[in-house]
Structure 1
Amino acid sequence: MHAKCRSFAAFSARAKRALSDAGHRIHHGIAKLEEFLLLLAGERIQLLLAMIQTQQNRRRLCGLLSGFWRTPHGLSATRAPF
Structure 2
Amino acid sequence: MQRIAGWWDGFELWVAGLPFIPQFLVVLVGMVPISFAIAFLLDRTLRMAFRVLRRDDRAEVPVPVALAERPTVGSGVR
**TM-score using structure 1 length:** 0.38
Where relative contact order (Cα < 8 A, 6+ residues apart) is larger, the structure is 2
- Relative to its length, the structure with more helix (as a share) is 1
Structure of greater Rg: 1
